[in-house]
Amino acid sequence: MSGFKLIPFKSRGAGFERLISPHLESLYRQAYRFTGSRHDAEDLVQELLTRLYPKLKELQKVEELRPWLARSLHNLFIDTIRSRQRSALGKSDPDSEAILEVVVDTTPDPAGAFDQQDQARQLALALESLSEAHRDLIIMHDVEGYTLPELTVIFEQPLGTLKSRLHRARKNLREQIKMEPFKKTQRVSG
Amino acid sequence: MMNCEQTNSFLEDYLDGYLDEAQRQELEAHLAACQECQTDLDNRNAVLKGLRALPVPRPSPGFEERVLSNARQGNRKHVGFSAGFGSAVAAGLMVWFVVGFWHPSDRPEHNALSVIVMQVEQPREVSLAFNVPHAIRDVTFRIELPEGIEIEGYPEQRELVWMDQLPKGRNVMNLNLVARQGVNGELLARIQHGDKEQVFHVPVRASMNGVGITPSFEQNTISI
């Protein structure tokens, strides 16, 4: 029977738990935002923690653990799950134009508004249609609330680059959502 | 005062709170006078609010304890068997045993003083703690479950067997149990080393309403 072991009661992991526990909920949420699957999100967090556990001393030296952990999770996501998704779906250039055709609702909303469920569904669809770089940035900044200075640590990019990328990402997102009635078929960036 | 083009270029910084006070006031002055820019701002704001409200399902029960426990053990395996084993101290019920030396003819059996009381379909974490005076290598563990009780992730498996070591000191085995029906039985933990075996009995009761659920933490020591 693999996967099951007795745990020494005097765990050496107390320090690890103290460091990581306050961030677990946030890590899971981010993982879910990236993967779109509870199962994959839990796996991703598990993999991260298992890799980090032997590096406790390193972790204890990190001054800003929140963005540091977020960067680690994001990198792990790219190295594992996204690479798997890419191989299944084909590669996409993060900043390229229009490589994916998405058919969206063809019925104009007469009131020009939609209820919250529709909005959530359309937002999720629009987010999914963005390039990976744009999607990740919006997830971290607009959904999870990381600041741009924090994101320079997470994405290892200069602030100016991230700011202009965020601007483009939001513009693309708004174009996908289209507050006005949808066209029959929209050509969106992938 | 800002014009529409300038306002447009600052709208996102405004929403994100990156503008300084003077810029903010200037932009708000324009917004107050320009319905088109105000509508633009409202639309962007609506998208941001919608993004923040996108739902995330709760992780599976025991997620935090499980990932921390697995990390300590170097496990990467998702849920599955490890789902039943959370952190040592987070479990709802802990039963202590002392594992000693014994002779084959003795085959000592011990009844726990604790009773696992459960509600049907409500998971319950239970820890079995084994205090070992000396390290024991090549130990076979066997958990036998009464009918109607499962370990989460292992549906309809009444018996689980694996090999491990028992380091000196206290060792904790965490089980995440689920009752599928009313149960009045016993959980058996068998520890076998060579031709010697020690059996630990833990009574299990499960009912639909869970009346009489025990306090969240109990501790009993059985000496042999």
DSSP B146-187: -TTEEETTBTT--EEEEEEEE-SEEEEEEEEEEESS-EEEEE
Partners of A53 on chain B (C-beta within 8 Å) are: 71-72, 74
SS3 category, A65: helix
What percentage of residues in chain B have a pLDDT greater than 70?
75
Residue pair A126/A173 in contact (Cβ under 8 Å)? The answer is: yes
pLDDT for A128 equals 86
pLDDT at A147: 92
Residue holding tokens 């590096």? A55
Q: Nearest Cα to B170, choosing from B199, B135, B140?
A: B135
How many CB atoms are closer than 10 A to CB A22? Answer: 11
Contact B72 A43 (CB under 8 A): no
**Smallest Cα–Cα separation from A172: which of A155, A148, A188?**
A188
Of B48, B63, B166, the CB nearest to A42: B63
Shortest distance between the Cα of A90 and any Cα of chain B, in A, equals 26
Distance CA(B33)–CA(B23), nearest Å, equals: 16
**Beta-carbon separation of B171 and A7 below 8 A:** yes
Spatial distance between the Cα atoms of A137 and A150, rounded to a whole number of angstroms: 11
pLDDT value of position B147: 92
Which residue in chain B is spatially nearest to A36 when comparing CA positions? B56
- Asked if residue A151 has pLDDT above 80, the reply is yes
pLDDT in tens, B96-133: 565 654 444 444 555 555 678 888 888 887 777 777 77
B chain contacts of residue A180, beta-carbon cutoff 8 Å:
none
Which residue of A50, A123, A166 is in closest CB contact with B70? A50
Confidence of residue A146 (pLDDT cuts 50, 70, 90): very high
- Greater confidence (A124 vs B102) lies with A124
Mean pLDDT throughout A141-163?
92
Amino acid at B223: S
Within 8 A by CB and 6+ apart from B185, the residues are B146, B147, B148, B149, B203, B204
- The stretch B167-172 carries a mean pLDDT of 72
Side chain identity at residue B95, one-letter code = V
Mean per-residue pLDDT, A90-116:
37
Amino acid, single-letter form, for residue B107: R
Residue holding tokens 């820019």? B37
Q: Where would I find the beta strands (DSSP E) of chain B? A: 93-98, 109-111, 116-119, 124-132, 136-144, 149-151, 159-166, 169-179, 183-193, 196-207
Decide: pTM greater than 0.90. Answer: no
**DSSP alpha helices (H): ranges in chain A?**
14-35, 38-52, 56-61, 65-77, 83-89, 116-129, 132-138, 148-155, 159-177
Closest Cα in chain A, distance from residue B75 (Å)? 7
Q: Pick from A19-23, A96-100, B196-200 the range whose average pLDDT is largest.
A: A19-23
B184-222 confidence digits (pLDDT tens): 889 998 888 887 888 888 888 888 875 444 433 333 332
B12 CB neighbours in chain A (<8 A) are: 166-167, 170
ipTM score here?
0.71
pLDDT at residue A148 tops 90: yes
pLDDT for A79 beyond 60: yes
Beta strand B196-207 with B116-119 is: parallel
For residues A19 and B1, the model is more confident at A19
Cα separation, A148 vs A159, whole angstroms? 6
Sort strands B183-193 and A100-103 into parallel, antiparallel or unpaired. unpaired
Which chain B residue shows the shortest CA-CA distance from A149?
B18
Give the per-residue pLDDT at A8.
44
| Chain A residues closer than 8 Å to B78 by CB | 39, 42-43, 46
Q: Which comes out higher in pLDDT, residue B144 or B62?
A: B144
**Beta bridge pairs of residue B197:** B192
For residue A115, what pLDDT band results from cuts at 50, 70 and 90? low
Q: For residue A115, give the chain B residue with the closest CA.
A: B50
The CA distance from B58 to the nearest CA of chain A, in Å, is: 8
Structure-model confidence comparison of residues A174 and A4, the more confident one: A174
Among B residues 93-122, those touching chain A with beta carbons less than 8 Å apart: none
The kind and range of the H/E element at A101 are strand A100-103
Q: Over 70: is that where the pLDDT of A93 sits?
A: no
Q: Rounded to whole angstroms, how far apart are CA atoms A42 and A45?
A: 5
Predicted confidence (pLDDT) at residue A120 exceeds the cutoff of 50: yes
Q: Which residues pair with A62 in a beta bridge?
A: none
Q: Minimum mean pLDDT among A13-17, A70-74, B60-64, B195-199: which range?
A: A13-17
Q: Which residues of B touch A127 (CB under 8 A)?
A: 51, 54
Average pLDDT, chain B: 75
Instruction: Check if the beta carbon of residue B199 is closer than 8 Å to that of residue B109.
Output: yes
- CB-closest option in A46, A167, A174 to B67: A46
Residues 6+ away with beta carbon under 8 Å from B206: B117, B118, B119, B120, B148, B149, B179, B181, B182, B183, B184
pLDDT in the model for residue B145:
93
Q: Does the pLDDT of residue A153 top 70, yes or no? A: yes
Distance of CA B154 to the CA centre of its chain: 15
A168 falls in which pLDDT band (50, 70, 90)?
very high
Strands B124-132 and B169-179: what pairing? antiparallel
Contact A2 B162 (CB under 8 A): yes
Task: Please answer whether residues A100 and A188 qualify as being in contact, where contact means their C-beta atoms are separated by less than 8 angstroms.
Answer: yes
Contact B51 A138 (CB under 8 A): yes
Nearest to A177 among B47, B72, B141 (CB): B47
The arithmetic mean of pLDDT across residues A58-77, rounded, is 91
